Chains A and B, each alone.
Chain A
C-alpha cells in the first residue's frame, strides 16, 4: 500500500516533466491521472502548466528580435551585387 501511494503521488519535478511530455507524446492513462491528481493539489504545478502552454503559444510566433528595425536596403544592395557577380562569372 505504501508503494502504491508512492507511485500515484508525483513529485513536482516529475509532474513538470509530464507537463512537457504531453506536448510531444500522448500520456498513458496512469500518467494522465497522476498529473490530474497532482495539479489538483499543487497550485505551483498548475501555474507551471499554464506558463508552459503560454510559452508554446509565444514560441510558435516569431519570438526573437521582435520590434526590431528591419531596414533591409543595405542587404538588398549586397544581395544584388552578389547575384550580378554570379551572372558576370557565367
Chain B
C-alpha cells in the first residue's frame, strides 16, 4: 500500500466526486471498526482520514478493481497494524515502570494467589454482554502499550502468531510470553471488576 508521492497523478474533479461518495458511504463503518481496535477516538479518526487520503492518492491503481469497501478496510487494517507496530517499537525503547512481575499473580510455590480468583459460569451470556465488553475495554486500555500492541496485532485479523512474530522481530517464545502476561493482567482486571460481582 506504499505509494511513492512522485508517482501520484493529479486527481481529477471526477475522482474527487467519486471519493466524496466513498467518504459519505464508508466513514461510519470504518470509524466504528477503528474504534473497536484503538484506545483513543482521536487516533481512530486520524487513521480513517489517512485511509481516505491513501485511497484518493491511489485512485488510478485501485478503482474499478472490485469491492471498494473491502479495499478501504484493507487500507485501514494496514494503518492500524502500522500504528501498533510503531507503538510496540516505541514501548520497547522506554522502560515500563510498575509492570507487575509474575509473583503478582502467583505465590513463591507457583500457586495462584487465590484472593482474586473468581469462578464464573455463564460464559455464553458474557459474550454478548455490553457491560462486560465495557469492562474488558477499560481493562485493555489499562495494559502497558507493548502488551496492548501484541494483543491487537494478534487479533486484528486473527493472524497466525508466526506472522505477528516476524513483523515484530520477536522470538516465538518472547511473543507468547508477552501474550501470557497480557492475558494474566486482563484476567486479573476482569476478576476485580466483573467476575466477583456476578452471582455464582
Are A79 and B27 CB-contacts (below 8 A) given A17-B177, A24-B172, A64-B141? Answer: yes
With beta carbons under 8 angstroms apart, the residue of B31, B105, B183 that contacts A52 is B183
What CA separation (Å) do A57 and B141 show in the bound complex? 18
Q: Are A11 and B161 in contact (CB under 8 A)?
A: no
What CA separation (Å) do A70 and B48 show in the bound complex? 13
Rounded to whole Å, the gap between the CB of A70 and the closest CB of chain B is: 5
Q: Are B102 and A76 in contact (CB under 8 A)?
A: no
Are A58 and B136 CB-contacts (below 8 A) given A11-B110, A82-B49, A83-B23? Answer: yes
- B interface, how many residues as a size bin? 35 or more
What CA separation (Å) do A44 and B119 show in the bound complex? 8
Which residues in A have their C-beta under 8 angstroms from that of B31? Answer: 70, 72, 75
Are A63 and B126 CB-contacts (below 8 A) given A20-B176, A83-B20, A86-B56? Answer: no
Rounded to whole Å, the gap between the CB of B77 and the closest CB of chain A is: 12
Q: Are B105 and A90 in contact (CB under 8 A)?
A: no
Q: Which of B132-185 contact A (CB under 8 A)?
A: 132-134, 136-137, 140-141, 151, 154-155, 158, 161, 172, 175-177, 179-180, 183-184
Which residues in B have their C-beta under 8 angstroms from that of A52? Answer: 183, 187
Q: Are B176 and A86 in contact (CB under 8 A)?
A: no
Is the CB of B111 closer than 8 A to any CB of chain A? yes
Q: CB-CB contacts of A57-70 with B at 8 A, as 1s and 0s?
A: 11111111111101
Q: Are A64 and B179 in contact (CB under 8 A)?
A: no
Is the CB of B88 closer than 8 A to any CB of chain A? no
What CA separation (Å) do A75 and B172 show in the bound complex? 39
Q: Which of B48-63 contact A (CB under 8 A)?
A: 48-49, 52-53, 56-57
With beta carbons under 8 angstroms apart, the residue of B41, B53, B140 that contacts A63 is B140
What CA separation (Å) do A64 and B43 show in the bound complex? 13
Q: Are B36 and A80 in contact (CB under 8 A)?
A: no
Chain B residue at minimal CB-CB distance from A52? B183
What CA separation (Å) do A89 and B38 show in the bound complex? 32
Most-contacted residue by chain A among B35, B127, B180 (CB, 10 A) = B180
Rounded to whole Å, the gap between the CB of B195 and the closest CB of chain A is: 8
Residues in B lying within 8 Å of A, measured CB to CB: 10-11, 13, 16, 19-20, 23-24, 27-28, 31-33, 35-39, 41, 45, 48-49, 52-53, 56-57, 102, 105-106, 109-112, 114, 117, 119-120, 123, 126-127, 130, 132-134, 136-137, 140-141, 151, 154-155, 158, 161, 172, 175-177, 179-180, 183-184, 186-187, 190
Given contacts A51-B190, A86-B11, 20 further A-B contacts (CB under 8 A): A11-B110, A12-B112, A20-B180, A24-B179, A25-B172, A47-B119, A48-B187, A52-B183, A58-B127, A58-B132, A64-B38, A65-B36, A66-B133, A67-B130, A67-B134, A70-B31, A75-B27, A78-B45, A82-B49, A86-B53
